[in-house]
Structure 1
């Protein structure tokens, strides 16, 4: 627990710098080397703490430039306007804005739309359906010409469906990315997450692993579909599957509670030899937890992440991870919405990306 205490101490201190105004939005924070010396902790602990603060929206990274303080309140202000030459405005709603894979998706959308002379109105739901309602109301009040939206809690029934039907009634095209609401069956650009979950699990099975635990977020369809692929891999390879091999969680569940549930497996007599994770961020947290338990990655436990994000290479153990086309998804979504706005009678088809597995040093053959 000492390492976990140091990790929390680093997070809390940096958060305190931001909330107190000691570090202001846009300010560059100390380098990894400076933070290691300042706090007297390992580089891995610093990377974990910074990774979490990026995920939570307190910080953001610029490749080659460093890590900077974000304006976290910006997430709560639904729109940012850009000037346009043609007067057309596209709405963009995502679950999150300033963390994980979303900056790359948004950058792809923004680069294409602004080049085409469109203005953008951004909004963020924090994966909360009530916030989604307010975002949709804002978009409708601004008379947008088209909408790109990432669904909120996509595996649950969505109470805001009537806003999307209003868009249809007003002949405003909309596109869903990453997932879509099954009730609407709208045009969408998604990753084949079932195949991604299958590929991650099959990779471990081919390395000789059979006792594999899967962790999946189940209030979003991405997690449900990844879990389906996980289960299919066991069936197709004729390996006995036990229900306790799946640990599910939701947006509201605290990371510490999830890690406690997983830790119970490693306090039992027969520990898992591999773990499939919902995403890279969770994989890094688990890697840290296993090290605290005195386990080595990948010699004792192999880990596979998902999204092939910058976090996959943030630790000294590089994560094997399933690809997500991030920037390309943003560009394709922007192209789709421009075509739909300008050629209203010819709605473009949906796109499904086939993900691939990038093999790094977090997985290895099972030691007999």
Structure 2
């Protein structure tokens, strides 16, 4: 509720500036950073408010120059022949599970750069990987009469009770594309990484280095984690590596902060330690590295580690993390191009895309010296 109040406050204040003449048609308004400081709200809130005002015709954007007041108020009092009619700016909704950390800013940057260059406004929303929040986000997008939607599904490995809202988008002929994962119940168009292959090649690399006791840590309420785990298991089968009880640690969004490391600690205390660890993503890999430091274990001398997503975190510490690539900026750019094609070519949907990831080697993996 507080977020909605702040958002409306920003919109109302800017429209008040325009209607009272504080800012004139053609005049540039403050930047997003400046507006955030003036109103004491996040840049995300400012971006949403500005996007709506562009969508409604109060403002317009010029690439590389800024945001300006339109001639809307002048037109209401002067001859319609003096000015061409305002054209409604098309608005694209973007829903992600997270918005401000890890790989998501790069994806969003790719989306935003192309859409704004093409004259589209954007409405952003974030679900925090929560089904109820996703419902609110979808309803907001429908209420704002968006022209298209780019969405990262929430908890894609479980049945989604919000399917009806996606069907409503289809019924209203609003195209949407899913990124990173998708709801199989809908068979939607998507842009995804071949995560099963990513899980396979990371595990295969460790096996070829002589590792046989490899633990996999996977988030399993999203299809990404499930598919990465499938690749992990397939590598074991392909190379006839013996399975063992503690080889997989599963966790969910609700317990992702503490459970994986707590479970890993139990394994280290009660059984023979693994010689290598495959992590769901780079974020988790850094947590694992920090935990291993408390045990005075060196990487990769004592234990090899591989992350996933090839994010900025791979270079964040003295341990340079081997990782699987994720086409962050490229995916965002392709999603933007896809949604524009779908909006402008009514009824014709471009094909889905599956990216094949690669293994980027740094110094967090090494040949196994102990296979006891």
For the superposition of Structure 1 and Structure 2, which TM-score range results when normalised by the shorter chain? 0.7 to 0.9
* Aligned mates of 2:215, 2:315 — CA distance in 1: 22
Say if 2:299 and 2:319, in contact at 8 Å, map to a contact too: yes
* Aligned mates of 1:75, 1:154 — CA distance in 2: 25
- Runs (4+) of structure 1 moved beyond 6 Å? 71-78
User: Over aligned residues, Cα RMSD in angstroms?
Assistant: 1.7
- Cα distance, 1:263 vs. partner? 1.1
Per the alignment, residue 89 of structure 1 pairs with: 91
Gaps of 5+ in 1: 1-70
Relative distance call for 1:121 and 1:313 in structure 2 (3 A) is same
* Aligned mates of 2:310, 2:137 — CA distance in 1: 29
Matches within 5 A, 1:1-368: 79-82=48-51, 83=54, 87-368=89-370
* Aligned mates of 1:80, 1:151 — CA distance in 2: 24
Q: Secondary structure at the match of 2:149?
A: strand
- Cα distance, 1:76 vs. partner? 8.6
* Aligned mates of 2:138, 2:192 — CA distance in 1: 21
Q: C-alpha offsets along residues 278-316 of structure 1, whole Å, 9 cap, x if unaligned?
A: 000100010010010111100000000000000011010
* Aligned mates of 1:266, 1:246 — CA distance in 2: 14
Q: Which has the larger radius of gyration?
A: 2
Q: C-alpha offsets along residues 173-228 of structure 1, whole Å, 9 cap, x if unaligned?
A: 00000000010010000000000000110000000001000000000110000000
* Aligned mates of 2:136, 2:323 — CA distance in 1: 35
* Aligned mates of 2:337, 2:261 — CA distance in 1: 40
- Cα distance, 1:254 vs. partner? 4.7
Say if 2:251 and 2:259, in contact at 8 Å, map to a contact too: no
Give the paired residue count.
298
Say if 2:111 and 2:335, in contact at 8 Å, map to a contact too: yes
* Aligned mates of 1:205, 1:248 — CA distance in 2: 21
Gaps of 5+ in 2: 1-39, 61-87
Say if 2:228 and 2:280, in contact at 8 Å, map to a contact too: yes
